[in-house]
Structure 1
Amino acid sequence: MQIVQSIILDLLKRFDAKAFLSEEKTFHFQKIQLLDPGSPPAPQENILYLGSFAQVLHLSQAILHKVCIVCIGEEEEIRAFAAGRPANLIAIPPQYALATVANELYAGFERLQSWSRDLETAILTRQDYQVLVSICARFFGENPIIMINSSYTVLAASMPSVPSHKGIDEILRCGYYPKDVTDGFARMGYQAKGPHAFVTPTFKHSPSYMECPYMVLASHADNGIFLGLITVYFTADDPTDTHFALFSYFAPKLRQYYLDRNHENTLSPTPLEEFIADLVNHTRKDETFLMDRARSLRLPLSATYRLCVIYFEEFILPQAVYMMNRLKGCLRFPFFRVLLYHNSVLMLLHGDISSLRVIDEIHESLEEFREILRISKGYAGFSTASFPLLKLDIAYKQALAAVHYGMLLSPEKGFYFYSHYYIYEMIDDYKNRYELEDMYVKKLRQLENPSEKCYDNLALLRNYLLTERSISVTAKIMHMHRNSVIYRLNKIQDILGLDLDNPDVRLRLLISFKILELQAGHTLPVPVTATQDGGPVSFFE
């Protein structure tokens, strides 16, 4: 990193530094060097020299013209000296020791170089945008940095420790630029300028669309399509030349990283993908905003929807595109869209189709569907049905929860319905407030009697409850005589001290079995027996 003279003056602010620099020259420093009392330096413009004014007096005009020197001495003497010749001097009053000034400069250079190294390392190791923005924010205090994409959705932001600006706080809370902000862009003529707006780091004074000073840099694809903005809003203090120099250093790097990632690892988001992201991320509070995007997607507002999220162990773009194309060809049930969203694939399905029909349709193409998931190392989570379009954010959370608990409990299955896994999410929420053992888990553990190894009382009770207390079906599943099942059930009731005729007791026992599954990290098998014609019958919980 090369450090410009405005940053040097900022580092020396506490020493009452005064600059006497030629307007014709601009310096970018890479290191600091003390003047050698015995010999003049070989002049290098990227070195900041430091010495006494007495040493400066012995340097030739050729050296003084090429370099910049921080010198300790009387301001008036240095001013008069610099006025009579082409010298570039920064004066420090004589009450400050040379060693103190040098230490301050060395420490400042190291902080800046460390900042630069951290930023370069984050880029080389392909960290996410939030990591990069957090690094960039170190020298900007409580002034937020916000990075957005082409749909004005926030990709990353530095968060002030306390609310400070109504407009900025709303953006950070919602995760996107609301309509009044984008209207502000229009009023300041940004859309009219198109790809020519903010192509270099730009500083804007107040009044502005955000009613605060800001620095901004835009990102555009090679074809001129707008991809996003990187902006620093000065809501906490006034911007300085140092702020602008630092912004001018990191913003182009962040922009180039964003462009490279769009080019190498992801498709540039289409307007449809950006709009569906708005629907997924935001709520009915922004109904007008979301309805505009729904119309752009040509999605009927009167329809209901079910959402499927396909999550990947490792997102690789060609695999995701392959999956999208295959899904469009193999799905047997009606759907509105199959598209990319962040590092996943979304399927927007008709919500008026029951879960049983979806399951049946998947089973018709089960091997093909599983093969697609296996090749792409993907896991599919389905929300429940009948969501209005403007509540798609809830469907998205449900689908993600289905994937999360499905991968945890049944990783071999590959696709999961929230209706089968919601209970585990409820249990996880419950355990944040109460001990799970206080359900009936402790009582169930009483059935684990080492003296009765030949009897699986837990399995018998669970099968009995899941088969709607059918003695005959339970006997078939357990390969026991029905009289033996009745005997064991009576004994189980005596051990537990519970009345199995009570529906609330049965519900709590079933939830306790779910707790045991969650604690074990896998689901227990669903009871299966045979019908009279020999076909399998499954009892879905």
Structure 2
Amino acid sequence: MREATVDLSHRFGDVSYVMLLDALEGSRVLHRPRRCARRFSWLETVYDEDNLAARDSRPNTLFLCRVESARQLLERHPSCFCVALAPDDAVPAWVSERNFGNRLVLVQQRERFARYDSLLRSLFVSNLIWENEMDRVVYAHGKLDRLIAVSERTLGNFVCITDTGHNLIACSRGIEPPQAEGADVYRALIEDGCYPPEEIAWIEESILPVSRTRSQLVEAPADERHPCPTLHYPVYIDGAYLFHVTMACSSGPADLLRDLFTKFMKRVLMLCTDFWKATVNLEAPWHRVFLGLINGEPMTDEYVQTQLAKTAVPRARQFRLLYVPFDSNMAQPVRAQVVKAARGLCGGACYPFMLKDRLLVLLYTESDESSALSGQSVWRELRATLYGTFGLQAGVSQAFRRIQDLEKAYREAFAAYSLRGPLKREYDALLGEQAVPCLPFEHALKFYLLTEGHDDDLVAFAFEDCILSRIIEEDRESGTSIAQMVWVYLSHGRNATETAKLMHVHRNTVLYHLSRIEERFDISFDSPLLRSRMVLDYQRLLLDGRV
């Protein structure tokens, strides 16, 4: 991780002319330029005329001096700017000269010289500390909420950041949002995680058309729904709308807030650009919901339902989650190709999204058929796509039926990928050395149970909806003994004749039921990996007293 460092010999903050005037508020200003776009990165204090010659001429320097020294400083350093202290309210005639007057703020001195020096140094140092804190967040590839947190004291106003679906990503936590009677826009954003429909319509009709496809500052006056003026900054990267940053300007001069907000947005754009690169241009409203489910973030049911309504998830009956880490050395164009290939998985019935440098792909099906998302079908498809083309392996969760279980599915897929070493050794021993396009948690469960850090909650979830569990439930409803037949068959070396004798049925009956199970679940009893998992399932069911 790179550390943010500051070399005070070369830089001392970045103070704008507006920020300088704000710092001098309360002082009697005798003269100042009407307009000035200057920014100052260094402060020099000249106490008397004796050390004028020793002053350096670095660009963007702000000098603090007495009025007797100001003209000579301005002549000696054509690029400098002065704050000059006058003993009375008299303004020297030379101040009216354009080359001097547009580079000078003249203040009537009412306090000791050192007081003004301390005031301006505090301005530069405070600004430098703020910039340094923001830069640390950027260099550490931090989150937007952290950038807001380190900026709250300086900005002094409520800031919020939303995504392309107008869902809340981050906001000020130490500053209350302004409220308007009958239209509490920002409070609704915080509580619901999304702007109200009226606010979304206003942003899309009044703000986004101004910026079009370019990141830029857009100002909006107060109205009946917004109790104070607002600064908006829609963020576009490569022409694509990514984020929307808003600051409600309830406290402070407008010019000063614009300058501070612009500084803040410079760092926001850096983080957004990094995010854009890391996510391979992936972003959608549902992205936030999936990440929130995985990270266990508090989200209201209404918010989750509203966002997932934009997807096919409400109609889906089964899911699987793929975990595909990207190598840090993988070139960006190759990542984009991987994501493009991932979008075609499961006939397009999938949602790829990024979690840092990990590509996650949620596969889904609207079919209730047990074979619809079988392990064999996923294995075959990944062998032909991500593994065959890019050499990428994927950890794969078991099939699950509730999107609310996405966090457990993520842990399954992550655990399966983490256990790729023992899994590969098992594949080599049982199947001979061959390509391994994916690492299913079905096969990794026995190894996971042997790890010290295994989670009992995840283990219970893994056994909850296994094949034998479904067959046992059906046996109880219909009065059959298919699950017992499978257990006997596996326990006696897959000998159908011996199984028929022990179950008191005809051998063809055994073969018929086994064949139906293979077809229904898209499995093969010829697979030693399947058989070892089924034995594990049966033993767990015996332990739980379910058979």
Taking structure 1 as the reference length, what is the TM-score of the superposition?
0.62
Cα 1:147–1:324 shift into 2, 3 Å: same
8 Å Cα contact 2:412-2:441 kept in structure 1 = yes
Equivalences for residues 51-66 of structure 1 within 5 A? 51-56=65-70, 59=72
Counterpart for residue 215 of structure 1 = 231
Contact kept, 8 Å, 1:202 with 1:216, in 2: the verdict is yes
1:10 and 2:10 are equivalent in the alignment = no
Amino acid of the structure 2 residue aligned with 1:226 = Y
Among candidates 177, 201, 206, match of residue 189 of structure 1:
206
* Aligned residue type for 2:17: Q
* Amino acid corresponding to residue 21 of structure 2 in structure 1: L
CA contact (8 A) 2:33 2:105 kept: no
> Where do 1:408-447 residues align within 5 Å?
412-413=422-423, 414-416=439-441, 427=457
Cα offset, 1:216, TM superposition: 1.8
Contact 2:338 2:390 in 1 (8 A): no
> What is the aligned partner in structure 2 of residue 248 from structure 1?
262
In structure 2, distance between residues paired with 1:370 and 1:429:
28
1:15-34, Cα deviation, whole Å (9 max, x unpaired): 63526212254432121112
Q: In structure 2, what residue type is equivalent to 1:399?
A: A
Contact 1:45 1:68 in 2 (8 A): no
- Structure 2, unaligned runs of 5 or more: 1-12, 293-298, 424-438, 461-483, 494-525, 541-547
Pair 1:310-2:317 in alignment: no
Residues 62-71 or 176-185, more deviating = 62-71
- In structure 2, the CA distance between the partners of 1:340 and 1:287, relative to structure 1 (3 Å rule), is closer
Secondary structure class of the residue paired with 1:249: helix
Q: Supply the AA of the counterpart residue of 2:165.
A: S
| Amino acid of the structure 2 residue aligned with 1:538 | V
Distance change in 2, residues 1:353/1:308 (3 Å): farther
The answer on whether the counterparts of 2:350 and 2:363 sit within 8 Å (CA) in structure 1 is yes
Q: Which residues of 2 match residues 164-179 of structure 1 at below 5 A?
A: 165=179, 166-179=184-197
Shift of residue 285, structure 1, vs aligned partner: 0.9
1:46-94 Cα distance to aligned partner (Å, 9 max, x none)? 22211234444x7498579975432334452359985798535445554
- The counterpart of 1:70, out of the listed 78, 83, 88, is 83
Alignment of 1:93-104 (within 5 A): 94-104=109-119
Shift of 1:345: 2.5
Query: Matches of 2:208 and 2:440 in 1, distance apart?
Result: 44
> Match for residue 358 of structure 1?
374
2:147 & 2:32 partners in 1: Cα distance? 34
Aligned residue among 276, 282, 285 for 2:302:
285
Amino acid at match of 1:218: P
RMSD over aligned Cα atoms? 5.0
Q: Counterpart of 2:7?
A: none
Q: For 1:300 and 1:265, locate their aligned partners in 2 and report how far apart those are by CA, in whole Å.
A: 25
Shift of 1:8: 1.4
Q: Which amino acid aligns with 1:32?
A: L
Whole-angstrom distance in 2 between the partners of 1:52 and 1:108: 19
* Contact 2:398 2:441 (8 Å CA) reproduced: yes
Partner SS state of residue 112, structure 1: helix
Shift in alpha-carbon separation, 1:91–1:381, aligned structure 2, 3 A? farther
Write the distance in 2 (CA, Å) between the matches of 1:182 and 1:257. Answer: 24
> Do residues 269 (structure 1) and 282 (structure 2) align?
yes
For the 8 Å contact 2:230–2:248, the answer to whether it is kept is: yes
Which of these residues, 202, 205, 213, is aligned with residue 221 of structure 2? 205
Which of 157, 165, 168 is the equivalent residue of 1:151? 165
CA contact (8 A) 1:381 1:415 kept: yes
CA drift at 1:132: 4.0
Cα distance, 1:183 vs structure 2: 1.8
- Residue 115 (structure 1) aligned with residue 112 (structure 2): no
Q: Is the 8 A contact 2:84 2:105 kept in 1?
A: yes
SS at match of 1:538: helix
The match for 2:43 is: 32
> Structure 1, residues 193-220: CA drift from partner, whole Å, max 9, x if none?
4617x85323333127544322122223
1:539 corresponds to which of 517, 532, 536: 536
**How far did residue 355 of structure 1 move?**
8.1
Q: 2:154 aligns with which of 123, 126, 139?
A: 139
Aligned partner of 1:336: which letter?
A
Partner of 2:407: 397
Q: Which runs of 5+ in 1 are unaligned?
A: 431-466, 477-529
What's 2:510 paired with?
A: none
Q: Which position in structure 2 is the counterpart of 1:48?
A: 62
Q: Give distance in 1, aligned partners of 2:134 and 2:81.
A: 28
Partner AA of 2:248 in structure 1? Y
Cross-structure match for 1:500: none
Structure 1 distance, partners of 2:280, 2:192, is: 25
Matches within 5 A, 1:331-480: 336-342=349-355, 343-350=358-365, 352-354=368-370, 358-362=374-378, 375-376=391-392, 378-382=394-398, 384-385=400-401, 387=402, 392=403, 394-404=404-414, 406=416, 412-413=422-423, 414-416=439-441, 427=457
Report whether the alignment pairs 1:180 with 2:198. Answer: yes
Question: What fraction of aligned residue pairs are identical, expressed as a percent?
Answer: 12
Cα 1:42–1:22 change in 2 (3 A) is farther
Does the Cα contact within 8 Å between 2:152 and 2:175 map onto a contact in 1?
Answer: no
Deviation by residue 1:368-411 (Cα, 9 ceiling, x = unmatched): 799579943643334622x4xxxx3x143232232355567787
SS of the residue corresponding to residue 216 of structure 2 reads coil
Cα distance 1:371–1:185, how it changes in 2: closer, same or farther (>3 A)? Answer: closer
Alpha-carbon offset, residue 180 of structure 1: 2.9
What are the superposed Cα offsets for residues 250-274 of structure 1, whole Å, 9 maximum, x if unpaired? 3245336534653x4443336xx44
Shift of 1:246: 1.7
Contact 1:383 1:419 in 2 (8 A): no
Deviation at 1:135, TM superposition (A): 4.2
TM-score, normalised via structure 2 length: 0.61
